[in-house]
Amino acid sequence: MNISSPAVQLIVVEDSDADFEALQRSLRKLRVQNKIWRFEDADEALLFLQEFYETQSPSQSAIVLLDLNLPGMDGRDFIVQAKQSEILKGVPIIVFSTSSNPKDIEFAYTNGVNGYMIKPVNTEKFYASMKSFKHYWLDVNCLM
């Protein structure tokens, strides 16, 4: 499957309005056509994904871009629950967090994330990160 297909949904789990707006601006500038779903709450994102994969057609898939530090269920809990789910364990999860703590990075990879990106504060570096994300995850990589 060609990942840049609009059938691939981007599930963004991000509670910061400013970070989400920067992400949207970057993806628009990069001409990303994929549907973007935003969740400020990891519980809601998990429920949405479960329903999405229970009812999806075979031509649809999703990629999760996940902040770690969220109110309520945080990104770490989301990772554990998603990767333990028979329905969701194959869904790519890319952490996009301000945390560069080696313990967070180790936790994420040990629990099955597919990528870990440190969220830059600088606008140009943020755009460069989104450009790299788009190139690898939406243009080059293949999903099941």
Domains and CATH numbers, the chain: 8-140 (3.40.50.2300)
pLDDT of residue 55: 86
pLDDT of residue 1: 38
CA distance 68 to 86: 22
**Tens-of-pLDDT digits for all 144 residues of the chain?**
344 455 689 999 999 999 999 999 999 999 999 999 999 999 999 999 999 998 876 667 899 999 999 999 999 999 999 999 999 999 999 999 999 999 999 999 999 999 999 999 899 999 999 999 999 999 888 776
Q: What backbone torsions phi and psi does residue 104 show, to the nearest 5 degrees? A: -65, -45
CA distance 117 to 36: 18
pLDDT of residue 130: 96
Give pTM, 2 decimals. 0.91
Question: Treating both helix axes as pointing N-terminal to C-terminal, what angle do 75-84 and 102-110 enclose, rounded to 10 degrees?
Answer: 20
